[in-house]
Structure 1
């Protein structure tokens, strides 16, 4: 990630659905109250080189004994991007991670050097903070260490229409429950970093094969809504939503600095072997 993310606030790149304080445990965990997203635009053809600098970043964090963990993922659809997601238990927890980094000048110096190399592979970055909307989320907690993909939906809402949009989502949630929709997703409302009101919805997936059953699940969902419910939802979303962006990502261990609990869920996937001596 680029060093510019550190320039005004050290929070922007030390670092998922699990707050770092809880990452020592494996197993299903609820999504954290706060989620920091770092969105990097990777130059075409620079994916492999970008992974190399990110791996160096991770090794430096391990050496510096950072406790601020994150997961990285590559876009399978849309623009050439890498996203990094970091969960926090509270604003105080977020601040503590900033202070931890600030008190380790050696780590900061190494990160600054690597970030300059990382910047050679990027065309831009954006960082934004999301607050969990538990009332708009759905499904049981997941074991994020066993997930391999993430579906991300971004809703950009018309000004003054946030409340109406939320009511539409709650109508959908009732239909999901009624149809026994087999999925879990976490709803985050963007608090800072991009246009507002914006909502980011994260749906982790063990396999892309889970999407093969979406047609049947959608049919059951529509049936649970009923004709009046479908008409009402269509009207609400037409009146409240400016745009919707759908993306698919694959988790990449080389872009990640996972906590012990995530690694424990699947060591074979998350443990990245260090490069051979002399290798760049």
Structure 2
């Protein structure tokens, strides 16, 4: 993933990255009890891309809540760039053949798959530039709206952003709008974390000062929107998987122990 759609706190500007304009996501539902076997197969994908010296990288994550899933996220600068990358894979016979072989083996371990495309919404994001290579988790909230409420959703998200800015909230998120792969108006809100302790801190930081920043009218607007406009809202927690990811050299350089750990030597008898 050229620059992950995610968020985190306290990162240096020199190492921060902007979210990609287009996000390609593949979701795999792993059969119960097949997680370890699935990981072994998935390691073959980044190995194939490394052998081909492929320039497009991706982030793999596995679910910590909800159904057992693996998500693969690839960032592109445009839909045209995504198309070019797909065509280049097709024009590389050795890589294509190996990916096809891996897909066949992988399919035996899965109960379903899904592909998504989403466009970055900078106007609905908050301080999104982060050092993604230092992150280890992300919380993903999937929001599906009732028909006709996209404009109203933009308004409430900007209200939330303004409240955060007013109290100088040290939070970060990236918002994406699904363009293909999910029904209706669906948004993906990514919040990354270096540690799960940040989830505890987030609850504390949204106390009275933040509620006062929203004001009674703002809080009522949020309640009304949730009641009238939201069809569904679901939050999933994911852990980064360095073994199944194909990280960029820049990511590896930022934290080689995590992204490219050295094999543990076998103990001598």
> Normalization by structure 2: what TM-score?
0.90
How well do the aligned residues superpose, as a CA RMSD in angstroms? 1.9
Instruction: Give the ranges of 4+ consecutive aligned residues of structure 1 lying more than 4 Å apart after TM superposition.
Output: 272-276
Q: Which residue of 2 aligns with 1:111?
A: 99
2:145 pairs, out of 150, 157, 168, with 157
2:31 pairs, out of 43, 49, 53, with 43
Please state whether the residue corresponding to 2:189 is helix, strand or coil. strand
Distance 1:123 1:154 in 2: 21
Is the Cα contact below 8 Å between 1:162 and 1:240 reproduced in 2? no
1:194 pairs, out of 162, 166, 182, with 182
2:223 is aligned with 1:234? yes
What are the superposed Cα offsets for residues 98-157 of structure 1, whole Å, 9 maximum, x if unpaired?
A: 122011011100111111111111100111101000000001510111000011000000
Q: Which residue of 1 aligns with 2:4?
A: 17
Counterparts in 2 of 1:88 and 1:275: CA distance versus 1, 3 Å:
farther
Is the Cα contact below 8 Å between 2:2 and 2:76 reproduced in 1? no
What are the superposed Cα offsets for residues 15-41 of structure 1, whole Å, 9 maximum, x if unpaired?
A: 9427xxxxxxx8211101001111110
Q: Which residue of 2 aligns with 1:8?
A: none
Q: What is the CA-CA distance between 1:196 and the residue it aligns to?
A: 2.0
For residues 24-103 of structure 1, the aligned pairs below 5 Å read 27-103=15-91
Is the Cα contact below 8 Å between 1:254 and 1:272 reproduced in 2? no
Q: Aligned pair count?
A: 256
List gaps (5 residues or longer) in structure 2. 6-13
Distance 2:70 2:79 in 1: 25
Please state whether the residue corresponding to 1:156 is helix, strand or coil. strand
List gaps (5 residues or longer) in structure 1. 1-13, 19-25
